[in-house]
Structure 1
Amino acid sequence: MKLVVIGGTGRIGSQVVQKLTAAGHEAIPAAPSTGVDLITGKGLDKALAGADVVVNVANSPTFDEASVDFFRTSMNNLLAAGERAGVGHQVVLSIVGVDQVPELNYYRAKTLQEDLLRRGPTPYSIVRATQFFEFMDATLSWTSDDDTVRLPATPIQPMAAADVVDAVVEVATGAPLQGIRNVAGPDVFPLDELGRLTLAAEHDSRTVVTDDKAGMFAAVTGDVLTAGPDAYLAPTHYRDWLQTAH
């Protein structure tokens, strides 16, 4: 099977390419560095020639309002190029609960991307994953100073990037879902507690202060970022991952 991985040189995409190749598939990374521009469409037709599946893990360069235009343009270009190439399956990586947080520009942008994919001409699958373990340090940095980190008690169910990769590969090599597969980590944490666990593992002396107005996740209400009962739960626990990561 020939699969083209859009964003195939990034954190998730490069691992998807490696996993697919190891399984005996022809996996082609497509990114600006390989001559593919999702916004202008340059290089897309050449990249998608002969492809059975397109796996789209490309990310917007920003998380603000500009992300809406990025996902609108890139998804439309990809769907059109896929139709011209006769692609039989379009796969997109998205976020658990993404359509429940319209206050966040980036989540609205990803919801639009999903909607365009659903209405597009090609059989599709959406893999919705929870927040990645690997992004925890960045999350802490948004609302921190020398002494404290301010975090809301928003419930999240994070997962390892490697487990996200496995989920994407499994869906991409199967029949189109014509729907969504939710994947999540095995444990739910309040974000502030997750911050304390992380700082302790990193021997960071800063104190976590619970502040339900701090940072991007302050816009989230309830437990919409946690997986429902139909979700596939990945095997890697955050505490175990912390021990190997630090």
Structure 2
Amino acid sequence: MTKLFLSGGGNAKQTKEIDKEFVSQVNLSKPLLYIPIALKGAISYESCFEWINSTLNPLGVQNIVMWTDLSNKSIKDLNQFSAVYIGGGNTFSLLNDLRNFGFDEVLKEYVENKGVVYGGSAGAIVLGSNIMTCAHMDSNILNSQDFDGLNLIGNYSIWCHYQMENDHLIKSYMNEYNKPVIALSEDTGICLCPDGFKVIGNTPAYVFEFENKRRIESDTFI
């Protein structure tokens, strides 16, 4: 059973391969939960809901429920869903909301109970060990001091929207935070399988382990 899907943050065309893999693990008889709160104040939630439907409806997911308020949500609430899709936006704001409402622990319990979770861009970064991989593109609008992610993928941090010219920023990040990095371009993702993390998409993923940079081709394991 594949539990975690992390996308580099592209558009529907770019993420189609990982989206298809994700949908293959979804029980279509149950609703899917979409959480767009990382875009709070940037884009209307109505537009977010239109986007997720336009992305997943063609792949067979017709019943999508959107949550924009995580207060008082429990594992019982979450267990009614076939999967959880956490969208992109401001990573600092997203992690702050997950922490403040205790939803980070609810989400961890859901994954431990074999729930399926998809994170796109900010939604992927918060699943890693440290979110400061977003600092070059996201504003720390809340002056957050807690940068620890949910740590669901070992010690790795996730770098989304990766381009080759980001390499010097990734090296600086690793020197400061002492974390290895999985870098995903906008048309690349990874999923957690029983054999490890598999790369999905049209371009490779890259694993940075301090002095070592590894290129991981699609359909192979990290």
TM-score interval, normalised by the smaller of the two chains: 0.3 to 0.5
Per the normalisation by structure 2, the TM-score is 0.41
Between Structure 1 and Structure 2, the one with more helix by share is: 1
Q: Which has the higher contact order (CA 8 A, sep 6+)?
A: 2
Per the normalisation by structure 1, the TM-score is 0.38
